[in-house]
Amino acid sequence: MEQARAYVKNDAWGMLVINRGLSAGLSAALSSGAVYNASAALTLLEQSGHHPIAQLMFIQPTLVQVAGAVASAMAVKQLAAYQSSGNITSRTSTNLHALLNPVGWTVENLGPFDFQLSTLVMPMAMLISFICVLVPLMMLKFGSYAAYKTTKHQHIYIALVFVALILCLVYSLFGTLAFLAFKGPDYGPKHQGLPITSGLVFSLWMCFFITLFPMALWLKALVTLVPPAFVAVPSVLTIIPSMCAGMTVVDLSPKFFRWMQALPFYQGGMLARYIVSGAHRRLGANLGILLGETAFSAALLYVATRINQHNVFTGAVDRMGNYRGTLGYTGSALVEPKAATLPTEPQVSSQSLESGIRQNAHAPSTTMSIVDDNDNVDAAMRNETLAI
């Protein structure tokens, strides 16, 4: 039984186990009327930590249906044997309850995660936290034009990663507290799942963070490059598949939808369910995929930052992110105006100056003629004076 429990808790969806002593106890009840506990015949092992929706909709109903079919077949067989028996003494001493209900079962949940709203609390907490992270990062698109003109793209990249890191840490903590607030009252007097300790809270916080961080870097890179008219497209195309991966049973879906297993919400949700329930341990795979997606998103953001700075310097985008030639493009707002040029005196070449001097040398002197005319007037005045 312990091996069956360990196998179901770590790898299987569920299992139907036939308990030891079933045949001996049933024979004693039918022959001598001994007390018989039908529910001790079978044990249905399940664990909702793998996925609560799959457990409630597929696994548990299937196990109950199989156990019911076994119980019905055993009851029909025992009743036929009882009717064909000619021993009146054995008939009177038969335990009729064991005859009509020879097989029952008990359900044992090895990794409970089926509290109220369990299918919604985890993905919704991640979704709200991610939206709170995404909004400030989207606003940076419309307020970082001047920084791209005056700052190196390496420094801008480091600043964006740091801002995303702080936002994800803060809002992932809020999401963790919201999840614990919804789950806490549903424990009731009977303990379910792992105890809520400071270590579990910290692990759950880091689970939320490592889920939100690659998505924040990914969407920041896409939002940096798309124009304002299409800024919501990357968000919608990312959030909708992520919510589907976090809420639906991707493992039991058609093969076309298996690509959703690579999404952060799927890996983060599985990791969170393991932290809370202790079932279906895939710690290495979950962390490996999330860390790989973080590295890829960080590299994509670096490329997007460098491309955007090149577009800003060349005037390919305006301060709002509109590309040249598209509707709404206003031009490069921070291009320095050219210095105003003052009118200058016309430059006279040396050849023009020499030719002008030669022309003046051959021209008649106006000043000399004026002086000669004045001398003639003075001489005439002296002659008139002498005549008087």
Q: 24-77 pLDDT, tens per residue?
A: 777 777 777 677 777 778 888 888 888 888 888 888 888 888 888 888 888 888
pTM of the model: 0.73
Residues 308 and 223: their CA atoms lie apart, in Å, by 11
The band of 189, judged by pLDDT with boundaries at 50, 70 and 90, is very low
- Average pLDDT over the chain, rounded to whole? 78
Which residues, 6 or more positions from 376, have their beta carbon under 8 angstroms from its beta carbon?
none
pLDDT of residue 371 exceeding 80: no
Question: What is the signed CA dihedral for 119, 123, 125, 131, rounded to 10 degrees?
Answer: -150
The band of 363, judged by pLDDT with boundaries at 50, 70 and 90, is very low
Residues 86 and 88: their CA atoms lie apart, in Å, by 6
Output the pLDDT for position 222.
92
Sheet of 105-109: strand order equals 14-18, 42-46, 105-109
More confident position, 205 or 383: 205
**CA of 326: how far to CAs of 271, 306, 307, 315, 332, in Å?**
44, 21, 18, 13, 14
pLDDT of residue 159 exceeding 90: yes
User: Kind and range of the H or E element at 44?
Assistant: strand 42-46
Mean pLDDT of 141-164: 88
Which residues, 6 or more positions from 236, have their beta carbon under 8 angstroms from its beta carbon?
none
Query: Residue 343, SS3?
Result: coil
**CA of 28: how far to CAs of 22, 31, 34, 126, 263, in Å?**
10, 5, 6, 56, 56
Output the pLDDT for position 373.
45
Query: Residue 300, SS3?
Result: helix
Closest CA to 111 of 279, 273, 283: 279
